[in-house]
Structure 1
Amino acid sequence: MDDRKLKILSAVVDEYIVSGEPVGSKAIMAHVKASSATIRNEMAELEKQGYLEQPHTSAGRVPTYKGYRLYVDKLMEQNPLSEEEKNKLDSMLPDDFVTEKDLVESASLALAELTKCATVVANSTPKFSLISKVEVIPTGKRMYVILMITSNGEIKNKVCRLEFDLTNEQLEFFDNFVKQNLNGVPISEISDANMEKLTEAMGAYMMTLSPLVSEVLKMTKELDRSVSLNGQKNLLTCKDLDQTEIISFLDNEKELMAFIDSTFSGLNVMFSPENDGFVIHNSSMITAPFSKDGQMAGALGLIGPMRIDYAKFIPYLEYFTSRITDLISERDDDDNND
């Protein structure tokens, strides 16, 4: 593709992102030095090549997802953030956060507010997360709630129904056993084999308390991958997207993790036509990773129509993930120096 076609395609995408209306040759003349007839011919050629499409015979053209892909990968010029914009983004993050989860959640809410898109937060395998606390709380006859808290702020609870009531002695033994064998252990080290060894180490208490150990193992596996959304209303009020598809998507948030896997290698822009399993047609998802101790710890992203301002929103996303990485590192350094 020659340089003029690339400039025309870029101009069509830029104009369409702003107006939401099919773009004609006259609008492109402000960006490309060529006659209206020449531009029309080039746009027709771009249509044949699959980068543009014409909604109506008499209308201008709009980008296809193939056009967006080339635009994002090769043509887009990102708008660098000014110091004023960086200060504004910083002000939307907490000065002091209790857990890393609080920090990432704040960034997710801020990104949703800025972009008017939905935002997604996903964690990678929590290699750095430790079990901080496991507690068993009796709630009724043979009913117990297991509460687990991790070092990165994750809180999980699970109801466990036993075939018998536990005595105070059994509960006290389990509490002490957990403190000695699980508190401070990385989630990544919790495996079926390790937990089986722990269960056997309970000796006479093994038969009665093994169901609780099994539930703790299940909870750690659930922690292994998690995903959450903010700004869902932004999707539901977006005229470019189908509400029925959005509702179906929101009912299956966990399936998002399959689309985020590639994010952990760097910034990723995904278009719905490229992924059959992504139920919201005419949509896009942009995700970027954040790190802890030099390794990927999770991802932050946004979901909206294909007609979003990539040049503006990608710098927002990259700045937030960069700040999350820096702030986590700064807090860890402060903790180590205390």
Structure 2
Amino acid sequence: MDDRKLKILSAVVNEYIVTGEPVGSKAIMAHVKASSATIRNEMAELEKQGYLEQPHTSAGRIPTYKGYRLYVDQLMEQNQLTANEKKMLDSMIPQEYVTEEDLVNKASMALADLTKCAAVVANATPKFSLISKVEVIPTGKRMYVILMITSNGSIKNKVCRLEFDLSQDQLEFFDNFIKENLNGVPIDSLSDAYLEKLTEAMGTYMMTLSPLVSEIMKMTKEMSSVSIKGQSNLLTCKDFNQNEIISFLDNQKELKGFIDETFSGLHVMFSPERDGFVIHNSSIITAPFSKDGKTAGALGLIGPMRLDYAKFIPYLEYFTGKISEMISEKPQEQNKEDDENE
């Protein structure tokens, strides 16, 4: 493709991102030095090649997903964040949070509000991690804390209230049972069927200890889930069919499979590129974040194909970069404080 066609395609995408309306040759003349007739001919060629389409006979043209792909991969000039933009983004990222999960959830909500897209959050634990340790700690009358540690260093805890107090024999049995049946098991291999198998294997202890197994399974499912923030942004977007959005929000399993593929770096996907993706005319941008140099999860945006990629990609990368810094530095800062206290 020659340079003029590339410039025209880039101009069409940029105009359509802003207006949402088919782009005619006169609008392109402001960006490309050529006559209206020449631009029309070039746009017709781009349409034949599959980069543009004409929704109506008398209308201008809009990009196809093939046109967006070429634009994102080769033509887009990514914005450089200014000092003021960085300051604005810093003000949106929470400086106070209870857990790393709390930080990521609050940051994703802020990103959804900023971009008017839905923000998606996934962690890397299911794909890369095994269960290293599970411990049940009595904390009060009928109150127990379940502590879970994974091989990638993630720590999760959950308070469990039982209808009775457990004896020391029951706690010791459960401790040994978990070591034999859960330690070293990949988190993404756990299922409801595995839960039933574990429960049945406890024999006479099944009635008293099965609530603890249920809570452990809930914890692993929370680790493997993909959460979406700013769902209302999808429901109010005029580019989407609301029935498709409702169907997508009711069943997000297809999204998890895609997110698992994106932990290696920034990734942009358009709905026609993935068979069965229910939201037509959509795109997903994801970028990973890390903890102490290891992939910890991914943060992404879901919106229409006419997203402002040049603007939103730097936002997303800045957020994931800050999250990586914060979850990596906090333990180090805590260790420093402990050393000073000693």
Bin for the TM-score computed over the shorter chain: 0.7 to 0.9
Whether 2:25 is the aligned partner of 1:25: answer yes
Letter in 2 for 1:284: S
Shift of the 128–326 alpha-carbon distance from structure 1 to 2, 3 Å rule, reads farther
Q: How does 1:92-103 map to 2 (within 5 A)?
A: 92-103=92-103
Q: Distance in 1 between matches of 2:13 and 2:144?
A: 52
Q: Say if 2:77 is the partner of 1:68.
A: no
Q: Is the 8 A contact 1:136 1:171 kept in 2?
A: no
> What displacement does 1:254 show?
3.4
- Structure 1 residue identity aligned to 2:110: A
Q: Distance in 2 between matches of 1:129 and 1:7?
A: 52
SS at match of 2:283: strand
Tell me the SS of whatever aligns to 1:119.
strand
* AA partner of residue 46 (structure 1): L
| Secondary structure, counterpart of 1:263 in structure 2 | coil
Secondary structure in structure 2 of the residue aligned to 1:78: coil
Q: 1:61 to 1:159 in 2, by over 3 A?
A: farther
List per-residue Cα deviations over 1:234-258 (Å, max 9, x = no partner). 1111111000000000001233101
For residues 64 and 2 of structure 1, what CA distance do their matches in structure 2 show?
19
Aligned length: 320
Task: Give yes or no for the alignment of 1:247 onto 2:246.
Answer: yes
**1:289-329 deviation line (CA, Å, top 9, x unaligned):** 00012111100001011111111111100000000000111
* Superposed counterparts of 1:11-160, under 5 Å: 11-125=11-125, 127=129, 134=136, 148=146, 150=148, 154=156
User: Mean alpha-carbon deviation: is it higher for 173-182 or for 229-238?
Assistant: 173-182
1:173 CA displacement: 3.8
TM-score by length of 1: 0.82
| Structure 1 match to 2:225 | 226
The SS at the match of 2:60 is coil
Equivalent residue, structure 1, for 2:279: 280
Deviation at 1:136, TM superposition (A): 8.4
Letter aligned with residue 323 of structure 2: I
Report the secondary structure of 2:34's partner residue. coil
Q: Specify the alignment match of 1:141 in structure 2.
A: none
SS at match of 2:31: coil
Q: In the TM superposition, what whole-angstrom CA distance separates every residue of 1:132-170 from its partner, at most 9, and x where no partner exists?
A: 864689xxxxxx99864557675668999xxxx97x4x4
CA RMSD of aligned residues (A): 3.7
Contact 1:100 1:153 in 2 (8 A): no
Q: Which stretches in structure 1 are left out of the alignment for 5+ residues?
A: 138-143
User: Structure 2: how far apart are the matches of 1:66 and 1:257?
Assistant: 24
CA distance in 1: counterparts of 2:278 and 2:322, whole angstroms: 31
Pair 74,219 (structure 1): closer, same or farther in 2 beyond 3 Å: same
> Counterparts of 1:50 and 1:93 in 2: how far apart (Å)?
40
1:36-63 per-residue CA deviation (whole Å, 9 max, x = no partner) reads 1111111000000000000111111000
The letter of the residue matching 1:9 is L
Q: Amino acid of the residue matched to residue 82 of structure 2? A: S
Please name the residue that 1:269 is paired with. Answer: 268
For 1:265, what is the secondary structure of its paired residue? coil
2-structure distance, mates of 1:42, 1:21: 19
Distance 1:204 1:252 in 2: 35
Runs of at least 5 residues in structure 2 that lack an aligned partner in the other structure: 188-193
User: Percent same amino acid among aligned pairs?
Assistant: 62
Q: For the structure 1 residues 48 and 286, does the alpha-carbon distance in structure 2 shift closer, same or farther, using more than 3 Å as the test? A: same
One-letter code aligned to 1:282: N
1:305 corresponds to 2:300: no
1:41–1:188 Cα change, 3 Å: farther
